[in-house]
Amino acid sequence: MKIRLHQFLSKCGIFTSKNEVKNAIWSGDVSVNGSTVKDIKFEFNPNTKPVTFKGKVL
C-alpha cells in the first residue's frame, strides 16, 4: 500500500503541525530507503522502504 510522505510523517506523531512536516521534508532531513526526498507528495510503501528523520528510523 502506497502512502504520501507527508501523510506518513503526520501519522508518526513526532511532528506537532503540518508546517513542521513540510519544513522537515523541504530542509532535507527526511530520507526514504536511504535517499533524501524533498517532495511532500512522494509516494512509497512504508512496509518495504524505511523512512529516517535526522538519521533515526521511523
Residue 26 has pLDDT above 90, yes or no: yes
| pLDDT tens digit sequence for 4-19 | 999 999 999 999 999 9
The Cα–Cα gap between 28 and 38 comes to: 6
When pLDDT is averaged across residues 26-45 and rounded to a whole number, the result is 96
The Cα–Cα gap between 15 and 2 comes to: 21
pTM reported for the whole predicted model = 0.88
Predicted local distance difference test score (pLDDT) of residue 1: 87
| Cell numbers given for 15 | 511532528
Residue 31's alpha-carbon distances to 20, 46, in angstroms, are 16, 12
For the domain with range 3-57, which CATH number is right: 2.40.10.10, 2.60.40.420, 3.10.290.10, 3.40.50.720?
Answer: 3.10.290.10
Predicted local distance difference test score (pLDDT) of residue 36: 97
The Cα–Cα gap between 25 and 39 comes to: 7
Computed on alpha carbons and rounded to an integer, the radius of gyration of the chain in Å comes to 10
